[in-house]
Structure 1
Amino acid sequence: MSAIVHVKLFFNFRSPYCYLASKKMWPILDDFNSRLLWRPVGGWDLRSTPDRAKTKMPLSRQDLGRFARRLGIPVVPPPVSTDPTLAGAGSFLAEKKGLLRPYIIEMMRAEWSYGRDIGQEDVLLDVAASIGLDRNEFVEAIHSTFNHEQLRKNAEEAVELGVIGVPTFVIDDQVFWGQDRIDFVIDELRERRASKI
C-alpha cells in the first residue's frame, strides 16, 4: 500500500464553484489513500472583491448553470449578502465529530440548491441538526474566537502557497484551482500510485 497523500482543500462556503466541488470531489478520498487537510476560509477570503463580484456574478451564475445542468443538480442562488464565515467556523466541529463530508454536502445543498442564507444562525442550526451535530456545541463552534482565528490563518496560508481562489486542492507543490481541475487531482493521485485498488 502506498503512503497516504495529504490533499489540502481551501474552501469558502459562499463559492458556487465549491458547491459544484461538493458534488464531485469525493473520489479523491474514496478511491485513494489520501487524507483531506481541511482549510475553510470565511468572508471574502479567496473570493473576488465586492466591486469585482458585481461584474463577475452574472457570468459566474451562467457558468454555474452550465455545470449544474451537466451534473443534473439544481441551482437556486442564495441572497447576495450571504456571509459564509459562521458556516466555515462550524465546519471545524463537524470535522472533529467525523461529520465533515455530510456537513459540506448539506450546507452547500441548503445554500445553492434551496437558496437559503447560510449566514443566518437558524439555517446553520437546521443543517447541523440534520447531520446529527449537537445544537449547543454547534452554537459554541460558530461563535468560537479560536475557530474564526483559524479561518483567518487558513487564508494567510493560502496566500503563502499562491492560492488565488476556491476551491483549491494542494498536493505538495502542485496547486489545482477550481472544481473543473478535480480530474487533474485524481490524475496526480494515480501518478503517485495512491489508488486503493
Structure 2
Amino acid sequence: MARTTFYLDLLSPYAWLAAERIDELLPEPPVWTPVLLGAIFQATGRSSWALTDAREQGIAEVERRAAERGLPPLRWADDWPANGLLAARCATAADARGALRPFALAAMRLHFTEARQLDAEGLAEAARRAGLDPDELLEAAGRQTTKDALRAATDAALAAGVTGIPSVVVDGEVVWGDDRLEEVAARA
C-alpha cells in the first residue's frame, strides 16, 4: 500500500476541508505534515486567491463545499488571510509531540467556524482543546529546532513538487486540492 503525505497549512480553508475527511477517505491515514504556505507561494511566485478579485468567489466555493460535506457554517476571521508563521510553528511543535492531527483540527475549526484569529491566544485555545499545554506549545514554537523542522518540511514539500495546499503526495506524485481527495484514495 502506498504511503501518503498530507501537506497542510492551518490558515488554508481548503486544507481544513481536506483535514476533516482525509483520514476516513484513505485506506491508511496519511502522514500529516505542516508547512508554511507563504514560503511555498514565495518560492513559486504565486499568492493567495484571497488577495485577488477572486476572493468572494473562492469564499463562496469553500462555503458550498463545507455545506455539502455537512460541516458547520464558515465564519471568517477579520484578519483572514493572516500571517501563518506562528500557526505553522505551533503545528510543527504539536507534530513533534505526536498531536498534530488533534491540534490542527482544533485550530482550523476555531479559525474557520468560530472566526478566531490564529494568534497566540487562538493557538493557545487550540492547544487546550487538543489536550496540549498551551504555554509549553507556544514556547516550543519559538525554539530553533521547531523553526528548522518547519523549514525542512516546507523545503521537502517544494522538492516533492508541492505548489499549493492542501497537497497529498502518493508514491512521489503530487495531488493538489481538496476536490481531488477521491483521486488520492483511488491511488493509495
Shorter-chain TM range is 0.7 to 0.9
Structure 2 unaligned residues grouped into runs of 5+: none
Percent identical across equivalent pairs? 25
Secondary structure in 2 matching 1:55 = coil
- Relative to 1, partners in 2 of residues 1:99 and 1:117: Cα closer, same or farther, differing over 3 Å? same
Measure the CA separation in 1 of the matches of 2:164 and 2:153: 13
Corresponding residue for 2:146? 147
- Equivalent position of 2:109 in the other structure: 109
Q: Kindly indicate whether residue 13 of structure 2 is the aligned counterpart of residue 19 of structure 1.
A: no
Post-superposition, which runs of at least 4 consecutive aligned residues in structure 1 deviate over 6 A? none
Deviations 1:21-75 (A, max 9, x none): 121111256x42x551x33122613455269723232221011011012012220
SS in structure 2 of the partner of residue 169 of structure 1: strand
1:42 aligns to what? Answer: 36
Is the 1:12–1:167 Cα contact (8 Å) retained in structure 2?
Answer: yes
Distance 1:54 1:121, change over 3 A: same
* Higher Cα radius of gyration: 1
Aligned to 1:65: 63
Structure 1 contact 76–112 (Cα < 8 Å) conserved:
yes
Retained in 2: the 8 A contact 1:17–1:178? Answer: yes
Q: CA RMSD in A?
A: 2.2
TM-score between both structures, scaled by the size of structure 2: 0.85
Count of residues in Structure 1 that have an aligned counterpart in Structure 2: 182
Q: CA contact under 8 A between 1:41 and 1:155: conserved in structure 2? A: yes
The question of whether the paired residues in 1 share the 8 Å contact of 2:37 and 2:165 is answered with no
- Contact 1:9 1:39 (8 Å CA) reproduced: yes
Give the direction of change, closer, same or farther, for the CA distance of 1:147–1:57 in structure 2 (3 Å limit). farther
Gapped runs of 5+ residues in structure 1?
190-197
- Matched residues in 2 for 1:77 and 1:164: separation? 24
- Residues of 2 paired with 1:165 and 1:130: CA distance? 28
